[in-house]
Chains A and B, each alone.
Chain A
Amino acid sequence: MIEAKGLTKQYEDKKKGPFRAADNISFTARKGQVFGLLGRNGAGKTTTLRMLSTILMPTEGTAVLNGFDILENAADVRRSIGFHTSDTKLYDRLTGREALEFYGRLQGMTEADVRARVQELAAEFKLVEFIDNRIAKLSGGQKQRISLARVVVHRPPILILDEPTVGLDIMAAREVMLFVQRSRASGHCVVLSTHIMAEVEKLCDEVAIIEKGRVIESGTLGAIKERHKENEIEEVFFKLVGEGVQ
């Protein structure tokens, strides 16, 4: 469902010269699977996910999502994905319903379909009570639920979630984790970036550990732990990237 092939993003730093935020990143994520990208801040996770979602153009390499190449069929790729980060906000002056309908229309859904879908999501994400209130007046948790509903409004087969629980309170974070589990169960392919190891253990089927823009380890959780003779992925992570960390 996702095949990243040598994704590279190079920036020109005026002082330091060329700098590779992502360097030859390759991995495969399948349907009904949660694929985790692990790495510390600045490792290259967000850059990789932004390239997958066509927000950024790779300097080298490409990726195929749901059969569409990010370089050749960007619009089809965007139609196939739901993208979310913990930073992502909604338009405060719209109501929840207006926001969801807006994103549905923007993804090419018909008027009838978008209205029916929003009703469906209102029930699924328990939005009914506040969906017609302006987003500015909603609580953090309510906004979070509308945000998650936005991700799947156009029924994308692939979800790309960039550190979706960072900065959230425990209840909102749990909401996100349940959402990921539900999405996997319903056959979505989920790519999730995080540096929270508990999330990885709980959610991910396969992971790729990224450090300084490069994949330094990848595979199923079990295989990685066995290769490094550790019981927890956190220990493996620190072993690989945590030089100097006691």
Chain B
Amino acid sequence: MKNVGVVYGKEMKDALRDPRTLLLMIIFPLIINPVMILFIGKMSKSEEQQIKSTRVVVALQRGAELSDLRAVLSSEPNLEVIESANPEADVNSKRATAGIQVPAGASELLRQGKAVKLIVVFDGTREISRHARDLSEEGIKKFGEKTTSKALTDRGQPADLARLVTAERKDAASASRQAGYLLGVFLPYILTIGVANGVTSTAIDVTSGEKDRSTLETVLVSSAGRSDILVGKLLAVVTTGFVAVLSSALSMALMFLGGGMLFGAEAKGVSMSVSPGALTGVVLLSIPLAVLFSAVLMALGCFAKSAKEGQTQAVYVQMVLIFAGISTLVKQTEPTAQSFMVPVLGTALAQRELLMGEFHPQHLIMAVLCSSVLAVVAIFVAVRLFGNEQVMFRSK
């Protein structure tokens, strides 16, 4: 065990003096990632505001004689109503941002108290057209209510009869649960990518990198056993991954707690708070993943003839991890028990539960067990490869 510590100490010193490791372990997760997320958030918000302030043109079917509808639409700021013989053609030619098709004799039908169906025409590929569609639909809704009220009044009925039943939304989730949900959507992804980035450079450097630099033999001819050497290296790689996770979690927590700048949480009226215990649990759940990724990448590094080959193979692994990470973003349905046994996804789901204040020991055990078993297998493979002279001394 002493040799494990000696190798670990040397590898950590070596890694901390490598600018690439520092960049991926601390600078990226702590500074670059939050800056990028803030930038994207700001861009998205500014885009939304720009769309709201852009003047839209709604083409209303010529001869519709629905002056009330025209008045309602025109009352909307930044909305101009034009008459059109063919609203769909005007939308396609971009003369109008959206259009409303009105069936012939609509005005008369309404007077008789008969139903009329208006069609809102829009271009789904244009954000501004979708915005004009929403404004048109809102205007039609108001116009409909007004028309119904008038029809009821004309028949001596109270105008409110049209609104006997209304619906209002109330989110039963507590504020902290909502905050946990919001954080749980993206934090597992950020941590997964963070740990993958954190371990890759070091894992390849301590294996195939040593082959390239001709430093491996100097260690192999020491009295330390090869498993001790590999375990010392593995611990150093896991440490870099764990520091990357800590940096990611810290930066995200600060961003989240420091004002809910993400996902328009403020606009949704969500109180931004998450328990330190849950956050600690989330970080701890990343450890088996860090061990798994480290062992897999080290096994690949041992197998690679050169650091270049190792880096190439690491890119493939990272692509798989990014795919797995994205699956944690999109998996929004109620997870089944089996989902917790899927590598990466299971950990992400368990992390999400913790952030939402839910504690299901069986889910945690399944997620940890799955990653741990795979990590043990990967460590076994890495140890075997590191001890295999035909692999370690394959000619380039």
- Which A residues touch B266, using CB under 8 A? none
Known A-B contacts A94-B10, A98-B13; A83 and B221 likewise in contact (beta carbons under 8 Å): yes
The answer to whether B6 and A106 touch across the interface, beta carbons within 8 angstroms, is yes
- Which A residues touch B218, using CB under 8 A? 83, 88, 90, 103, 150
Q: In whole angstroms, how far apart are the Cα atoms of A94 and B389 in the complex?
A: 27
- Which B residues touch A89, using CB under 8 A? 213-215
Q: In whole angstroms, how far apart are the Cα atoms of A234 and B224 in the complex?
A: 40
In the complex, B3 has a CB within 8 A of chain A: yes
**Which of chain B's residues 127-159 have a Cβ closer than 8 Å to chain A?**
none
Using an 8 Å CB-CB cutoff, how does the interface string of A57-72 with B read, 1 for contact, 0 for none? 1000000000000000
Closest approach, in angstroms, between the C-beta of A9 and any C-beta of chain B? 10
In the complex, A78 has a CB within 8 A of chain B: yes
- Which B residues touch A81, using CB under 8 A? 221
B2, B7, B225: the one contacting A75 at CB < 8 Å is: B225
Nearest chain B residue, comparing its CB with the CB of A150: B218
Closest approach, in angstroms, between the C-beta of B50 and any C-beta of chain A? 49
The answer to whether B222 and A78 touch across the interface, beta carbons within 8 angstroms, is yes
Q: In whole angstroms, how far apart are the Cα atoms of A83 and B214 in the complex?
A: 13
Main secondary structure of the interface of B (DSSP, over half): helix
In the complex, B17 has a CB within 8 A of chain A: yes
The answer to whether A55 and B217 touch across the interface, beta carbons within 8 angstroms, is yes
Known A-B contacts A88-B214, A89-B214; A78 and B6 likewise in contact (beta carbons under 8 Å): no
In the complex, A179 has a CB within 8 A of chain B: no
- Which A residues touch B7, using CB under 8 A? 106
Known A-B contacts A93-B18, A106-B224; A88 and B217 likewise in contact (beta carbons under 8 Å): yes
Question: How many of chain A's residues have a CB under 8 angstroms from any CB in B?
Answer: 29
Q: In whole angstroms, how far apart are the Cα atoms of A79 and B222 in the complex?
A: 6
Using an 8 Å CB-CB cutoff, how does the interface string of A79-113 with B read, 1 for contact, 0 for none? 10101010111111110001000110111100000
Nearest chain A residue, comparing its CB with the CB of B219: A106
The answer to whether B214 and A75 touch across the interface, beta carbons within 8 angstroms, is no
In the complex, A54 has a CB within 8 A of chain B: yes
Known A-B contacts A56-B393, A93-B14, A98-B13; A106 and B222 likewise in contact (beta carbons under 8 Å): yes
Closest approach, in angstroms, between the C-beta of B156 and any C-beta of chain A? 91
Q: In whole angstroms, how far apart are the Cα atoms of A160 and B218 in the complex?
A: 12
In the complex, A53 has a CB within 8 A of chain B: yes
Closest approach, in angstroms, between the C-beta of B110 and any C-beta of chain A? 81
In the complex, A232 has a CB within 8 A of chain B: no
Q: In whole angstroms, how far apart are the Cα atoms of A57 and B218 in the complex?
A: 17
The answer to whether A93 and B17 touch across the interface, beta carbons within 8 angstroms, is yes
Q: In whole angstroms, how far apart are the Cα atoms of A89 and B210 in the complex?
A: 10
Known A-B contacts A93-B18, A98-B13; A76 and B223 likewise in contact (beta carbons under 8 Å): yes
Q: In whole angstroms, how far apart are the Cα atoms of A107 and B223 in the complex?
A: 5
Residue from A76, A92, A94, A105 whose CB has the most chain B CB atoms within 10 Å? A105
- Which B residues touch A85, using CB under 8 A? 214, 217
The answer to whether A90 and B215 touch across the interface, beta carbons within 8 angstroms, is yes
The answer to whether A108 and B13 touch across the interface, beta carbons within 8 angstroms, is no
Nearest chain A residue, comparing its CB with the CB of B10: A102
Q: In whole angstroms, how far apart are the Cα atoms of A102 and B12 in the complex?
A: 12
- Which A residues touch B217, using CB under 8 A? 55, 83, 85, 88
In the complex, B254 has a CB within 8 A of chain A: no
The answer to whether B13 and A78 touch across the interface, beta carbons within 8 angstroms, is no
- Which A residues touch B6, using CB under 8 A? 102, 105-106
- Which A residues touch B220, using CB under 8 A? 55
**Which of chain A's residues 101-127 have a Cβ closer than 8 Å to chain B?**
102-103, 105-108
- Which A residues touch B2, using CB under 8 A? 108
Nearest chain A residue, comparing its CB with the CB of B212: A89
Q: In whole angstroms, how far apart are the Cα atoms of A43 and B217 in the complex?
A: 21
The answer to whether B14 and A79 touch across the interface, beta carbons within 8 angstroms, is no
- Which A residues touch B14, using CB under 8 A? 91, 93-94
Closest approach, in angstroms, between the C-beta of B67 and any C-beta of chain A? 80
Closest approach, in angstroms, between the C-beta of B81 and any C-beta of chain A? 70
Closest approach, in angstroms, between the C-beta of A143 and any C-beta of chain B? 12
Nearest chain B residue, comparing its CB with the CB of A77: B223
The answer to whether B215 and A91 touch across the interface, beta carbons within 8 angstroms, is yes
The answer to whether B214 and A57 touch across the interface, beta carbons within 8 angstroms, is no
Using an 8 Å CB-CB cutoff, how does the interface string of B96-113 with A read, 1 for contact, 0 for none? 000000000000000000
The answer to whether A106 and B215 touch across the interface, beta carbons within 8 angstroms, is no
- Which B residues touch A108, using CB under 8 A? 2, 223
Closest approach, in angstroms, between the C-beta of B229 and any C-beta of chain A? 8
- Which A residues touch B13, using CB under 8 A? 93-94, 98
Nearest chain B residue, comparing its CB with the CB of A98: B13
Q: In whole angstroms, how far apart are the Cα atoms of A213 and B220 in the complex?
A: 24
Closest approach, in angstroms, between the C-beta of A84 and any C-beta of chain B? 9
The answer to whether B223 and A106 touch across the interface, beta carbons within 8 angstroms, is yes
Offer 5 A-B interface pairs, CB within 8 angstroms, sorted by A: A88-B217, A90-B215, A90-B218, A91-B10, A106-B6
**Ranked 8 nearest A-B pairs via Cβ:** A106-B222, A93-B17, A83-B221, A79-B223, A105-B6, A89-B214, A75-B223, A87-B214
B residues adjacent to A (C-beta < 8 A): 2-3, 6-7, 10, 13-14, 17-18, 213-215, 217-225, 389, 393
Q: Give 15 new A-B contacts, CB below 8 A, not counting A83-B218, A94-B13.
A: A54-B221, A55-B221, A75-B223, A75-B225, A76-B223, A78-B221, A85-B214, A92-B213, A93-B14, A94-B10, A98-B10, A102-B6, A106-B3, A106-B224, A108-B223
